[in-house]
Structure 1
Amino acid sequence: MQNTKILKITFGAVVLILSVYSLWTKDFTYQGVTVFFLGLFMSVFGVEESKKNKGRRWNLYVFTAVVLFATLLIQYVTVLWG
């Protein structure tokens, strides 16, 4: 339980710092990294909720994380082949 708390704080801080940097400088080159860490953040929430067995809420977190990772993958594929 303590490890997930550390991971949530770390991933949340990385997402927050990269997002504030992007908005402040209007430089969105790190958007892919931000989405990647947001997906990791949501994955940790999903794993934590599944361990708590609080119904179906963890499915929402895992689904959101999968969508974020898929969006990131599609973005990189289109950049490489486009």
Structure 2
Amino acid sequence: MDKHKELDSVKSRSFISVASLLAQGSYTALLGFAAFFMLTIKSGVYLLGIYNTVLAALGAFNYFTNLGLAAALMQKKKLNKLILIPPFIFN
């Protein structure tokens, strides 16, 4: 019965993690769409190119930051929950 409780715990934590990831992604996409929509109304075409270039650069930086953080966490012998919370909340 202990393994059943552990499996249920893993399932519930996985569901919460996936739901959180989807909510954060949806919020970010909606915010980005609103910003892009306002930018298209208020500015010219040249500024849209700069905006898209900056967004692409930020996406690349975010991707490589996540890779570096994952590698650093995998090298730790003991993980503390206090270490894991801030990077994944603010990322």
TM-score of the two chains, using structure 2 as the length reference = 0.34
The structure showing larger relative contact order (alpha-carbon pairs under 8 Å, at least 6 residues apart) is 1
Larger Rg: 2
